Structure 1
Amino acid sequence: MASTSESEVRENSEREFISLLIELYRDCPELWKVKSKDYFNRNKKSAALEKIVGALKKIKPDFSVIQLKQKINVLRTNFNREFKAIEGKKVSGTSTDDIPEPSLWYYNDMHFIKDQLEIAQTETSEQPTPVLLLDVLAD
């Protein structure tokens, strides 16, 4: 029977942590849903961030709101980059066999934020390009 290495245990633990973070984030639309009535309410956003940090501190006791904002920004940036790459291939008329599979293990978990992307036409191209509406964590 093969033993699990310490690095594999840490990687699984980090994946579980990120999965929980994404789940908690999805449950707080005031942090990511631009059309939410609470999106521009700083008090509600702050309370939501504190709620998420409180839940995550059970796993990582030193976790802070600053670290949470950093993690969310990294997750959103990586998702947005991957989403744009995949959608760009679809729009360009590439055959479905040539459209890349997402490389991010959490791509499908973050798919709820895709509705916050807007297809924008650029003056130099007739191809639409997905762009982020705004950074939801900026205060």
Structure 2
Amino acid sequence: MADLRQCSREFLTDFIALYESFPSIWSVKSKEYSNREKKGEAYEKLVEINATATRDTVVKKVNPLRSVYRKELGKVNKSIRSGAGEDEMYKPYLWYFDLLHFLND
């Protein structure tokens, strides 16, 4: 699986949509979150979308996506708490920021 900077938007969009469909690997509130079999099945489905991927490469792709999203979300929330006006509000530069809103659950 290619480095994040080398992935196409189409691939990352599909990857994120598929990732979202498996709350067992991202939603702590999900009953399936603590089920290792469900997590394994979910990761296998994510691995299937790329011929060269392994579970490790999928995990290594997901972690930076989540990390960068959380950093951007922190900046947005800090901007809101500061009382910034609509014009001064921090606007995320990540094109996939809105695609990852499901992580707020």
Q: Rg: which structure is higher? A: 1
TM-superposed CA distance for 1:76, in Å, is 0.2
Of 31, 37, 43, which aligns to 2:25?
A: 31
For structure 1, the 5+ residue unaligned runs are: 1-10, 116-139
Aligned counterparts of 2:6 and 2:36: Cα–Cα separation in 1: 34
For structure 2, the 5+ residue unaligned runs are: none
TM-score calculated relative to the size of structure 2: 0.90
RMSD over equivalenced CA pairs, Å: 1.5
Equivalence for 2:39: 45
- Structure 1: which 4+ aligned runs deviate by more than 3 Å? none
Q: How many correspondences in the alignment? A: 101
TM-superposed CA distance for 1:27, in Å, is 0.2
- With a CA cutoff of 8 Å and minimum separation of 6, indicate the structure with the bigger relative contact order: 2
Which protein has the bigger strand share?
Answer: 1
Of 9, 21, 24, which aligns to 1:15?
A: 9
TM-score calculated relative to the size of structure 1: 0.69
Which protein has the bigger helix share?
Answer: 2
Aligned counterparts of 1:94 and 1:31: Cα–Cα separation in 2: 35
